[in-house]
Amino acid sequence: MSELSARAEKLDAADELAHKRAEFVLDEAVYLDGNSLGALPANVPDRVADVVARQWGALRIRSWEESGWWTAPERIGDRIAPLVGAAPGQVVVGDSTSVNVFKALVAAVRMAGEGRDEIVVDATTFPTDGYLAESAARLTGRTLRPVRPSEVPGALGPRTAAVLLNHVDYRTGRLHDLPSLTSAVHAAGALVVWDLCHSAGALPVDLDVHGVDLAVGCTYKYLNGGPGSPAYLYVRRDLQPRFDSPLPGWNSHAEPFGMRGDYAPADGALRGRVGTPDILSMLALEAALDVWRDVSIASVRAKSLALTDFFLECVAQYVPAGRVESLTPAAHEERGSQVALRCPDAGTVMERLIERGVVGDFRAPDVLRFGFTPLYVGFADVEKAARTLGGLLA
Q: Which of 31, 126, 311, 362 is catalytic?
A: 126
The rounded distance, in Å, linking the Cα atoms of 63 and 103 is: 28
Query: Residue 341, exposed/middle/buried by CB under 10 A (0-12, 13-18, 19+)?
Result: buried
Of 146, 141, 107, 153, nearest to 127 by C-alpha is: 146
Which residues on adjacent β-strands are paired with residue 166? 195
CA distances in angstroms from 188 to 94, 139, 154, 159, 162, listed in the order given: 31, 23, 10, 9, 10
With a CB cutoff of 8 Å and minimum separation 6, the contacts of 334 are: 174, 175
Q: Which of 79, 103, 116, 221 is catalytic?
A: 221
Q: Which of 102, 170, 220, 234 is catalytic?
A: 220
Q: Which of 195, 213, 278, 361 is catalytic?
A: 195
* DSSP E strands, the chain: 24-25, 30-31, 40-41, 91-93, 118-122, 143-147, 160-166, 191-195, 214-217, 232-235, 325-326, 338-342, 358-359, 361-363, 367-371
Conformation bin of residue 265: beta by default, left when phi > 0, alpha when psi is -120 to 50 = beta
Q: Are 384 and 353 in contact (CB under 8 A)?
A: no
Pairing relationship of beta strands 40-41 and 143-147 according to DSSP bridges:
unpaired
Q: Are 233 and 99 in contact (CB under 8 A)?
A: no
195 is annotated as an active-site residue: yes
221 is annotated as an active-site residue: yes
Q: Which of 79, 303, 369, 387 is catalytic?
A: 369
369 is annotated as an active-site residue: yes
Q: Are 173 and 335 in contact (CB under 8 A)?
A: yes
Q: Does 153 sit behind a cis peptide bond, omega within 30 degrees of 0 on the bond before it?
A: no
Torsions phi, psi for 314 (to 5 deg):
-65, -40
Q: Are 166 and 221 in contact (CB under 8 A)?
A: no
Residues with catalytic function: 126, 195, 220-221, 369
